[in-house]
Amino acid sequence: MFNECIITSDTSSGPVMTVGLLNKPFSYDSEDNLLNLKGDIAAVVHQYDRKPKMVEIVKKKFDNIPENFKLIDLNNEDEYAYIQYIINLISIITTAFKIILLSRRIYFKQKELIKKSLERKKKEKDIKK
């Protein structure tokens, strides 16, 4: 059931790209959206601040930032602490979700083993009759 919800990809061909350590030339579409190796627009670009061209594009795109939207200044200790707090919460939620998935697998595996054991006992009982 949950397997359909989980998507994995490498850091350069999926919807989330981590670009900090990539030394490949990057491709962009006509609107300066970063394209992954498959040619799709990257939905999330992690570590864009390590690539000067990407910093220029972000500054250009967000030149007129709406009042209800704010870029986080990671040099500001309070804002950095807030982001770390959010990241920790996401990590906790992700871990809890993994535990739930693992628990479900263990539960269904135990249920399957119990069913097989009961079937085996029934066959043994039938053979003795």
Would you kindly state where each structural domain of the chain is located, as residue ranges?
A: 1-67, 72-129
Instruction: List the chain pLDDT tens, one digit each, 129 residues.
Output: 445 555 566 777 778 888 888 888 899 999 888 998 889 988 888 888 888 888 888 888 877 666 665 566 667 788 778 878 888 888 888 888 888 888 888 888 888 888 888 888 888 888 876
Note the pLDDT of residue 1.
Answer: 45
Tell me what pLDDT residue 24 has. 81
The two structure tokens encoding residue 20: 């900090």
Percent of the chain as helix, strand, coil, to the nearest 5: 55, 10, 40
pLDDT value for 64 = 66
- Helix and strand element counts for the chain (H, E): 2, 4
For residues 65 and 78, what is the distance between their CA atoms, to the nearest angstrom? 21
Distance CA 69, CA 62 (A): 10
